[in-house]
A and B are shown apart, each in its own frame.
Chain A
Amino acid sequence: MGGLIAKKLLTLIPVLLAVSLLTYLLLSLLPGDPALLVLGGGAASAEAIAAVRADLGLDQPLPVRYLAWLGDAVQGDLGMSYITRQEVTGAILERLPVTLELMGVSLVLALVVAVPLGVFSAYRSGGRFDRTVTGATFGLLALPNFIFALILIAAFSVGLGLFPATGWSRLSDGLGDNLRAVFLPALALSVSNIAVFTRLLRTDMIATLQEDHVLLARAKGLPTSRILFRHALRPSSFSLLTVAGLQVGTLLSGTVIIETIFALPGVGRLLFDAINSRDLLMVQGVVLLLAVTFVVVNFVVDVLYTFLDPRIRSGAARARA
């Protein structure tokens, strides 16, 4: 088991290196003088440009620069933004909790909605409930999250006045306010996940419900809810788990839009602001962080999967991995 994880960890390192290299290259090979780009592309004095050149080591060849940047990045130093005069790492860390909470709540919301929907529509597949759910989720898949966010704002903030349309309150300001602030954005963010999870779980559940152990459970006279949630849900949830992990990428992308709409002070909003002010170093830092997060989450899901699915732990599967 430990060996398997160690082996997988070894494959993680080259991926992370490649991701960092691509992040660095993408923004270094852009047309234009990097020093000017770093300064925001506006008019800058010759001294300022010279200072940036020295600071970023632009007189050195690209590989040397990359290694120096990587060395700093590994130690948590992503440089200082020339636009906001802020440490990139510090700015990210300050805003990270908001984004993490948003994503976490969104994922939980999606699962809370999707699991019962998926289970029950699989239980009576082809029935009216199933057809309604399948149709509705198909519609949800075509609904961009920013449109869903506007619908939610129009209905719950403008119409009913239940939730604030924009703004954020920290957890330290009280749990109630915090949850009220995070609810609508998280729901808006979860729209595609609800659809994807429901459909995936439904498909897997239908397959599981035809298996012998479910037949046995039914023959033993176990109550339906027990069969569905105790006997069928777990074997049906492996691909759900994998996809939930992989959806983190979609979630990360979604936070940029959702945090902008709801004016939440998170990392996505930071990226949006940095892009608008052409803050190269900040963009680089945030993109690196988001990509690394995505890779690491996928890795963790992969490992978790191994724990959950006994078949992968067996020798035959290990040879494959």
Chain B
Amino acid sequence: MPAPEPAPNRPGRLVGADSEQATSSATSAAELQAGQFGNAAATTEPSPEPAQRRRRRKAGVLFYSCLAWLVLVVVVAITAPWLPIPGPDAIDIPNRQAPPFTAGHLLGTDGLGRDIASRLAYGARVSLIISIAAVVTGIVVGGTLGMVVGYFRGRIETVVMAAVDVILAFPALVLLLALVAFVGQSLTAITAVIAFVSIPFYARVARATTLAVSQREYVLAAGLLGARTRRILFREIMPNVILPVAAFGLIALGVVIVLEGSLAFLGLSVQAPAATWGSMIAEGRRYLDSDAHIALIPSVVMFLTVLSLNFVGDVLRSRFDVREANL
């Protein structure tokens, strides 16, 4: 197992979690970490040793700057039409490939003379809509599936988890590309396809957590008190499953932004001329030798966004003590 447990003194550690860990073999946890979505998941830091307070305070500053960046991105995306910037498709021929801080173009213009700041703002809309919608769909569908299956076990679990494994047998981006090519490149189609591809990951996290939770005393007690199955599932189990799944979703958000960016970079996301970060980077490629800023600025924005999502997700996970070891 990857997680370095200074084994004994972890309060609140479940007996159920331990026994599940023993049966679900090292591979499944590692597998979870290894897939597209798991890259970031594989990296939870062991929470900082209590002695090193200075480091923790520094992490606090980082945490809030990441949060601030994310808030900035969201606000800019929402307010894009009202910001004092040219339209994303407005072409300013005389000012083509203008460097940043040119009058009227804060971040310069691209090869066609379109304002980079404006395209970034509108691109953020695409990235955010797709990633949030895909993650929420994935959490709702995959999370419910995993939870139900993990609670009832039996044949339905075997069938669903087998289906999940089969989808996981496809390299994520390959499956995504094949589907997008033939399903279409509308915002809804891309969101749906990304959600579909990511459902297995949420289903696994939800199932593993449910397996541990459903053996706890209060769940048994609820059953003995004669609570209905639906009540046990949604009132007793779900509150415990939702946190790990949501924390996982936060990191998945970053992964989805990269996935969408990859699609856009290949020209397979939302159709041009709609601005997306990935397509801006792809278009900027041509000017790498003369005007690197055209590709560089959207790259930095995407990098910072994904980095912030990973960091915030990581911090929240360690706060809720959601670790792979518990899955």
Contact = CB atoms under 8 A, between A and B. Distances in A.
Interface of A: 15, 18-19, 22, 26-27, 30, 37, 126, 134, 137-139, 141-144, 146-147, 150-151, 153-154, 158, 192, 195-196, 199-200, 203-204, 206-207, 238-239, 242-243, 246-247, 249-250, 252-254, 256-257, 260-261, 271-272, 275-276, 278, 280, 283, 286-287, 290-291, 294-295, 302, 305, 320
Contacts of A19: 166, 169-170
B139 interface: no
B15 interface: no
B165 A143 contact: no
Given A138-B311, A242-B30, A276-B267, 9 more contacts: A19-B166, A126-B49, A139-B307, A144-B262, A146-B278, A242-B27, A246-B35, A249-B34, A291-B174
Interface in B169-190: 169-175, 177-183
A120 B42 CA distance: 19
B261 to A, nearest CB: 6
Contacts of B45: 134
A294 B170 contact: yes
A276 B27 CA distance: 36
Contact of A256 (B3, B177, B261, B267): B177
Contact of A247 (B23, B34, B52): B34
A246 B36 CA distance: 10
28 contacts: A15-B165, A126-B49, A134-B45, A138-B310, A143-B306, A144-B306, A147-B299, A150-B295, A196-B34, A196-B42, A199-B43, A200-B2, A203-B46, A206-B4, A239-B30, A242-B27, A243-B34, A246-B34, A250-B34, A253-B36, A257-B265, A275-B178, A283-B178, A287-B174, A287-B178, A290-B174, A294-B169, A295-B169
Contacts of A207: 4-5
A286 B175 CA distance: 11
A14 to B, nearest CB: 8
B234 interface: no
Contact of A15 (B4, B166, B303): B166
A320 B25 contact: yes
| A contact patch SS | helix
Nearest to B267: A276
Contacts, number: 176
Contact of B171 (A153, A280, A294): A294
Given A153-B288, A154-B288, A243 B302 contact: no
Given A147-B281, A203-B4, A280-B182, A250 B25 contact: no
A34 to B, nearest CB: 10
Contacts of A200: 2, 33, 42
Given A192-B39, A203-B2, A242-B26, A249 B172 contact: yes
A292 B181 CA distance: 21
A60 to B, nearest CB: 22
A295 B168 CA distance: 9
B39 A141 contact: yes
Contacts of B281: 146-147, 150
Contacts of B56: none
Contacts of A27: 178, 182
A252 B266 CA distance: 15
B26 A238 contact: yes
Contacts of A271: 174, 177-178
A22 B174 contact: no
A278 B36 contact: no
B258 interface: yes
B150 interface: no
B148 interface: no
A257 to B, nearest CB: 6
B18 interface: no
A151 B285 CA distance: 10
Contacts of A242: 26-27, 30-31, 34
B90 interface: no
Nearest to B177: A275
A23 B288 CA distance: 38
A137 B46 CA distance: 15
A141 B40 contact: yes
Contacts of A291: 169-171, 174-175
Nearest to B183: A30
Contacts of A158: 288-289
Closest 8 A/B residue pairs (Cβ)? A253-B173, A246-B34, A142-B307, A275-B181, A142-B306, A252-B171, A249-B171, A207-B4
A320 B183 CA distance: 42
Given A18-B162, A206-B4, A256 B266 contact: yes
